[in-house]
Amino acid sequence: MKRNAIICAVLLTAVVAEAKNVDLVTLPGRDSVQLTIYNSEDLTLAKETRYVTLKKGANQLQFSWANTLIDPSSVELRLLDHVDQVEIADTVFPGQKPQHLIWNIESKFEGQVKMEVTYFTSGLTWSMDYVAISDPDETMLQFDGYVRVYNNSGEEYDNAEIRLIVGKINLVEKIADLARRRGIPVPLEPSGPHRLMQRDAVRKAFADAEGAADDMDASRTEAAGIVKEGISEYFMFTVEGSETIPNGWSKRMQAVDTEDVTFDIVYRMRAHQYGPRPVRFFIWRNDAEHKLGDSPLPDGQVNLFRDNGDDGLSFLARQQIRYVPIKAEIEINLGPDDLVVYETNRANVKRFNFSFHRNRVNGWDETAHWIDTIRNYRTKPITFELRRVWHGDIDYDSEIKTTLFDYRTPEVTLTVAARSKKQYPATVTQHHGVNAKQNRVKLKR
């Protein structure tokens, strides 16, 4: 017992003497910072590089996250150079400084060392919006995209490289909740179980001291290894250059800048989807042919204008678009157009092929001749898409080539010359009662 007390006293004296020679250094300012923002879960991975001046021997670095939403359990320090001469011994969370941590570093090198600090934080979000400007003849577009980053994280980021993750992730715990979570308070007066814990800790300290006496060189702990795995794939949208985003501010940056984007104008008549009038669409693709396609386009609001030829813009439409993959279409609905008129008429209705049960009609067929008329009062030919939903057992016949969109929806695409009209005739036979075998549309040709 006396030998143990002597060993412990020697060790404590050595540790105190060594601690007097270790300077506590606050982590210096950032040299660069990269922010990867996962918008769907209010999660941001911050990656900072800093140059730290070390001396030979023991060093201590202090990192603070006071008044921020940083998750302290995610903070990690990594060496980027002099890896074989510098070692991070351990990470300490001092009880008297609840929003600080200290890295104990052993160095055989004296001078500046490049280090990387990574952590998760919340409060950084982003949104996307687009501006499309058509030329007066409505043949070309100037298409620009802007990302707005909002910083409510409690931390200021200077000259940050910004990466936006498009997609959804699943978090068991929210980073904001982890950042605000408080630890379990230590009792002011030690309770019975707490005294037992203290006694066990003292007993363990003596055992560690006795073991250390056999090998005084083994004074550092080994760094813990962490294995990380990718669980999903997302698209990363990188904003070129770097930006400074103070806390409480938002910043709008241009992410897409494309001129002379060709587009198509299509009129669609879908009463079940857009109402009783045909609507006008501007359609173009996110591909190389349309001078886009470098990346998918995130969700965002599109504001569409037309150059009026007199140094002004005419507002045409505003629409929220969903995530647009590469080679997918962008469709902007401009609403009804008074210069394109659609009407439909039914004529020559006939009923035949009656079925009877107990002298009552329980089935019959009904044939009608439908004529859809499109009038184009514009000075240019138009493309017109007609899609109509039919219910019941239908036989559908038209002299104009028609296809099926789904089991009950015929569709046809027509070209209507300028200042003219075009008719689309169709013969529709509907089976009623016991004559109806299934709920579908069957094309006769």
* Interatomic CA distance for residues 115 and 31, integer angstroms: 10
More confident residue, 15 or 291: 291
Clarify whether residues 8 and 105 are in a common domain: yes
**What number is the average pLDDT over the span 150-154?**
93
Clarify whether residues 261 and 325 are in a common domain: yes
Determine the pLDDT at residue 95: 82
Determine the pLDDT at residue 7: 33
What are the backbone angles phi and psi of residue 393, rounded to the nearest 5°? -90, 110
Clarify whether residues 411 and 316 are in a common domain: no
Give exposure, 386-420, as e/b (b: 16+ Cβ within 10 Å).
bbbebeebbebebeeebeeeeeeebbbebebeeee
Q: End of a domain among 320, 336, 352?
A: 336
* Domain annotation covers residue 218: no
Determine the pLDDT at residue 332: 97
* Interatomic CA distance for residues 59 and 103, integer angstroms: 8
* Domain annotation covers residue 299: yes
More confident residue, 225 or 297: 297
Clarify whether residues 367 and 319 are in a common domain: no
Determine the pLDDT at residue 321: 95
Determine the pLDDT at residue 171: 59
Domain count, the chain: 3
Is beta strand 264-269 parallel, antiparallel or unpaired with respect to 382-387? parallel
Handedness of CA 298, 301, 302, 308 (dihedral sign): negative
- The token duo for 42 is 């209010």
Clarify whether residues 423 and 314 are in a common domain: no
Determine the pLDDT at residue 235: 75
Handedness of CA 175, 177, 180, 186 (dihedral sign): negative
More confident residue, 412 or 244: 412
- The token duo for 5 is 């007390």
Clarify whether residues 115 and 208 are in a common domain: yes
* Domain annotation covers residue 226: no
**What number is the average pLDDT over the span 281-300?**
91
Clarify whether residues 384 and 266 are in a common domain: no
Clarify whether residues 329 and 396 are in a common domain: no
More confident residue, 192 or 386: 386
**What number is the average pLDDT over the span 147-156?**
91
**What number is the average pLDDT over the span 416-435?**
97
CA neighbor of 107 nearest in space, from 163, 155, 52? 52
Residue 250 has pLDDT above 50, yes or no: yes
pLDDT tens-digit series, residues 39-72: 777 889 999 999 999 999 999 999 888 888 998 8
More confident residue, 80 or 195: 80
Determine the pLDDT at residue 222: 43
**What number is the average pLDDT over the span 201-212?**
46
Residue 316 has pLDDT above 90, yes or no: yes
* Domain annotation covers residue 269: yes
Residue 22 has pLDDT above 90, yes or no: no
CA neighbor of 284 nearest in space, from 434, 435, 139, 78? 139
* Domain annotation covers residue 219: no
Confidence bin at 14 (pLDDT 50/70/90): very low
Q: Which of 68-82, 150-164, 191-205, 257-271 has the highest average model confidence (pLDDT)?
A: 257-271
Q: End of a domain among 292, 309, 336?
A: 336
**What number is the average pLDDT over the span 129-139?**
96
Determine the pLDDT at residue 253: 83
Confidence bin at 237 (pLDDT 50/70/90): confident
Sequence-distant (6+) residues with CB within 8 A of 131 are: 143, 144, 145, 146, 302, 303, 305
Give the range among 240-244, 356-360, 404-408, 437-441 with minimum mean pLDDT.
240-244
Clarify whether residues 253 and 197 are in a common domain: no
**What number is the average pLDDT over the span 317-344?**
95
Give the range among 18-32, 208-222, 367-381, 420-434 with minimum mean pLDDT.
208-222
Residue 16 has pLDDT above 90, yes or no: no
Clarify whether residues 111 and 200 are in a common domain: yes
Residue 202 has pLDDT above 70, yes or no: no
**What number is the average pLDDT over the span 190-213?**
49
Determine the pLDDT at residue 180: 55
Confidence bin at 162 (pLDDT 50/70/90): confident
| 262, 139 contact by CB (below 8 A) | yes
**What number is the average pLDDT over the span 436-440?**
94
* Domain annotation covers residue 103: yes
Residue 70's domain spans which residues?
A: 2-33+47-122+185-213
Q: End of a domain among 280, 307, 336?
A: 336
Compute the mean pLDDT over every residue in the chain, rounded to the nearest whole number.
82
Report the percent of the chain where pLDDT is more than 70. 79
pLDDT tens-digit series, residues 163-184: 888 766 665 555 555 555 555 4
CA neighbor of 132 nearest in space, from 278, 222, 311, 259? 259
Clarify whether residues 321 and 194 are in a common domain: no
* Domain annotation covers residue 307: yes
**What number is the average pLDDT over the span 78-103?**
89
* Interatomic CA distance for residues 45 and 96, integer angstroms: 28
* Domain annotation covers residue 174: no
Clarify whether residues 71 and 196 are in a common domain: yes
